[in-house]
A and B are shown apart, each in its own frame.
Chain A
Amino acid sequence: AQKITQTQPGMFVQEKEAVTLDCTYDTSDPSYGLFWYKQPSSGEMIFLIYQGSYDQQNATEGRYSLNFQKARKSANLVISASQLGDSAMYFCAMREEQTGANNLFFGTGTRLTVIP
């Protein structure tokens, strides 16, 4: 079974609008961390935001926020006030603390295109 599922291969959003990128995960580990990365066309992977499984509040970093719904095992990324520079691939990833605390499991990514 896939540990991370991103069901949106591609998304479009109008500049200055908000957009939500979906991510669901599958784990039996009670302790885990969820990460979002951005990959522009140049190729580098840029860390955006982190959410721990025991965090009480949703994580926020500037225009990025994470809509964490633990019971539904979802960790959607919300980008507010989209900018042209947000056009990129976005990857959701998970680390299981007890069973493989060092490596990340990645989803297949969502390509976001911001329309002027």
Chain B
Amino acid sequence: DVKVTQSSRYLVKRTGEKVFLECVQDMDHENMFWYRQDPGLGLRLIYFSYDVKMKEKGDIPEGYSVSREKKERFSLILESASTNQTSMYLCASRLLQRQGYSNQPQHFGDGTRLSIL
């Protein structure tokens, strides 16, 4: 089974702090993703990474950055946390399918509930 591990289930930080959310997967997946989930809005993509040191902006990248120095680890960084970044953050990984349809699902971690005070 694929295991995606997020470093914290719950996190409380203060406005203006630099916040790191860590995600590790154990299946050698090329693709990794960061989403935030808010009631009534579903999941929205913040950033994703094709492979090590490669990243692409998603739909809502403002106020965030990411780092992928090793294949198994994808970090989300809130440069200067603000109260509107209080949310549930979900990390996912996916195997890159090189032939045929990409029916490989994304596998998710348990999520981090982040509160910015």
Q: Are A108 and B41 in contact (CB under 8 A)?
A: yes
Q: How large is the interface on A (under 10, 10 to 19, 20 to 34, 35 or more residues)?
A: 20 to 34
Expressed in whole angstroms, the minimum distance between the Cβ of A3 and any Cβ of chain B is: 10
Chain B residues near A54: list those with CB within 8 A: 101
Chain A residues near B109: list those with CB within 8 A: 44
Return the chain A residue nearest B96 by Cβ.
Answer: A102
Expressed in whole angstroms, the minimum distance between the Cβ of B95 and any Cβ of chain A is: 11
Q: Are A108 and B42 in contact (CB under 8 A)?
A: yes
Chain A residues near B113: list those with CB within 8 A: 43
Which of A37, A42, A44, A97 is B102 in contact with, Cβ under 8 Å? A97
Tell me the A1-30 residues at the B interface (CB within 8 Å). Answer: 4
Chain A residues near B106: list those with CB within 8 A: 35, 47, 104
The answer to whether the Cβ of B90 comes within 8 Å of any Cβ in the partner chain is yes
| Cα A41 to Cα B35 with chains together (Å) | 18
Chain B residues near A47: list those with CB within 8 A: 105-107
Return the chain A residue nearest B33 by Cβ.
Answer: A103
Chain B residues at the A interface, C-beta cutoff of 8 Å: 9, 31, 33, 35, 40-45, 48, 50, 58, 88, 90, 92, 94, 101-103, 105-111, 113
Known contacts A33-B101, A45-B111, A103-B58; can you find 12 more A-B pairs with CB under 8 A? A4-B42, A31-B101, A33-B103, A37-B108, A44-B111, A46-B108, A91-B42, A95-B102, A97-B102, A104-B43, A107-B42, A109-B42
22 sampled A-B residue pairs with Cβ under 8 A: A4-B42, A33-B101, A33-B103, A35-B105, A42-B110, A43-B110, A43-B111, A44-B108, A44-B110, A44-B111, A45-B90, A54-B101, A93-B43, A95-B102, A102-B33, A104-B43, A104-B45, A106-B35, A108-B40, A108-B41, A108-B42, A109-B42
